[in-house]
Amino acid sequence: MLTASLPPELEQALAEATRGRSSARASADLTRRYRDPSPTAGPVARSPDDVRAYAAARLPATYAAVWIALDELRARVPSFHPKSLLDLGAGPATAAWAAAETWPTLEHVTAVEPEAEMRRLGADLARSVPSRAVAEAEWLAQTLPEAIPSARYDLVTLSYVLAEIGARDRGATVERAWGAAADALVVVEPGTPAGYERVLEARARLIELGATIVAPCPHDRACPLAGTGDWCHFAVRLARTRAHREAKEAQLGHEDEKFSYVVAARAPAPQAAARILRHPQIRRGHVLLEICAPDGARAQTVSKREGDRYRHARKVSWGDDLGE
């Protein structure tokens, strides 16, 4: 299983920002609205209670998912050391925290966020952030897609935002976000069929615009899962703090966030040899894998007779690159 943890400074800042004020009911209500968003789109969390519930119940999970996507970019393009980030639909700048953790080289952050309460939370959390770029982020209180600046940024993120943008504006948002990306654009959505569809739509448009796909796909061709009823998504496990457990009235000490994502770049990068699409099934003498490979998505059995390949297959997780 992919795993992630919050930086201790963010964990602490979140505990302070939500202490004694967020209720499990507000968190459950907000989670329900994220699962079943209004067809008219627009920001889901606006009121102080909603935003506190977001901080307590959703931000740790969105941080973990965007961190995994950024970490794929870091691992696949080790020469990439972004100095500037444009975080679109930034919320409290979750993706900026994750980017600063991934690349301490980050020097400038521009965060576009129309909701005042989200910007306020972002400013509260930023008092604890070790990254100067995040602490001194420039906030634009504006709306996508119009607000996307004409300047270029090394990295652009759209983390859990497309769901809140009406279908009519989504294409323009992705196009203009790509236009603002000097090197790379990262799109992350919930790992639901609808989130996957939005990622798929963004991926197709980015390829038309000349982008190369860095992750998760092992190719730039059409997604072999499209139209099959299956959907490409992954899961990341993160530990729950006490505040996090209380906010969700949850017993488990961890939660698993399902997400879909695409990382696009201007320069070609080495892609995965084969992406693992499900939890591997370890059986006696063999491992059953579901993979996406350059020639399509399929099941693969790795038998004990295959020696090193088998030992490797026993260790890989859903979301990993199986390798050669």
Ligand X SMILES: C[S@@+](CC[C@H](N)C(=O)[O-])C[C@H]1O[C@@H](n2cnc3c(N)ncnc32)[C@H](O)[C@@H]1O
What does the binding site for ligand X look like in residue numbers (CB under 6 A)?
Answer: 43, 59, 62, 66, 89-91, 94-95, 112-115, 118, 143-144, 159-161, 164-165
Q: Which is nearer to ligand X, 193 or 323 (CB)?
A: 193
When CB distances to ligand X are compared, the closest residue is 91
Cβ pair 190, 163 in contact under 8 A: yes
Q: Which is nearer to ligand X, 60 or 218 (CB)?
A: 60
Q: Which is nearer to ligand X, 237 or 309 (CB)?
A: 237
Residue by residue, DSSP assigns 138-192 as EEE---TTTT--SS-EEEEEEES-GGGS-HHHHHHHHHHHHHTEEEEEEEEEESS
Question: Shortest gap between Cβ of 294 and ligand X (angstroms)?
Answer: 31
Question: Shortest gap between Cβ of 118 and ligand X (angstroms)?
Answer: 4
Backbone phi and psi for residue 27, each to the nearest 5 degrees, phi listed first: -65, -45
Q: Which is nearer to ligand X, 37 or 224 (CB)?
A: 37
Question: Shortest gap between Cβ of 157 and ligand X (angstroms)?
Answer: 7
Q: How far is CA 95 from the centre of its chain?
A: 8
Q: Which is nearer to ligand X, 215 or 316 (CB)?
A: 215
Q: Which is nearer to ligand X, 118 or 235 (CB)?
A: 118
Looking at residue 105, the DSSP 8-state letter turns out to be T
Q: Bridge partners of 85?
A: 109, 155
Question: Shortest gap between Cβ of 319 and ligand X (angstroms)?
Answer: 18
Residue 95's closest CA among 170, 182, 160? 160
Question: Shortest gap between Cβ of 23 and ligand X (angstroms)?
Answer: 19
Token pair 């059409």 is at which residue?
A: 222
Question: Shortest gap between Cβ of 78 and ligand X (angstroms)?
Answer: 25
Residue 38's closest CA among 161, 159, 164? 164
Question: Shortest gap between Cβ of 104 and ligand X (angstroms)?
Answer: 20
Both structure tokens of 200: 């798929």
Looking at the chain, how many residues does it have?
Answer: 324
Q: Which is nearer to ligand X, 66 or 316 (CB)?
A: 66
Pairing of strands 281-283, 286-293: antiparallel
